[in-house]
Amino acid sequence: ALRVSEQAIRILGGAGIMRDYPVGRFHRDALVYVIGEGTSEIQRNIIARDLDL
């Protein structure tokens, strides 16, 4: 989702980040998911902790 929204913003240029277009919102939403998931290392630590490893 993040890659696609970044490509759409590049295609639309400056208009892609304006609030008039939903692409900017899609991009911000995709960023939230990426940040919320954390890094791969953090995810591994959480899984290891949950599995008592």
pLDDT at 11 over 80: yes
Rounded to whole angstroms, how far apart are CA atoms 16 and 9? 4
Quick one: pLDDT band at residue 32, thresholds 50, 70, 90? confident
pLDDT of amino acid 7: 92
Q: Which residues constitute the domain of residue 32? A: 2-50
Q: Which of 2, 18, 22, 37 is catalytic?
A: 37
As for how many domains the chain has, the answer is 1
What percentage of the chain carries pLDDT values higher than 70?
Answer: 94
Q: What is the CA radius of gyration of the chain?
A: 16
pTM across the whole model: 0.54
Catalytic (active site) residue 37: yes
Is 2:31 a contact under the CB 8 Å cutoff? yes
